Amino acid sequence: MREGRRVNMKVYPDLAKVAAAAKEANISIQEIQFIQNIEKDVLEALSIMVEGNDDAKGYFSWLLAKNNLKTEPIK
């Protein structure tokens, strides 16, 4: 069994585009955590656990960028 890799990113989320990109890249989204900014009452980020080969993960990231989903790594 392959081990999943957590991808943390700040996004202006459009979940339909995230799901479509995952389907096209042939990766599996194992878990999504929604990170809310309570002070502004907005969804600030998603933490997505994905599973798939490295090429598929790279393609998934490229599709997100192509769809103008802004991402920024979180440490």
Query: Rounded to whole angstroms, how far apart are CA atoms 34 and 17?
Result: 16
What's the distance, Cα to Cα, between the start and end of the chain in Å?
Answer: 26
Check pLDDT > 50 for residue 1: no
The SS3 assignment for 63 reads: helix
pLDDT digits (tens, 9 = 90+) for 14-69: 778 888 889 999 999 888 887 777 777 666 667 788 888 989 988 988 888 887 66
Any idea what DSSP says for residue 26? T
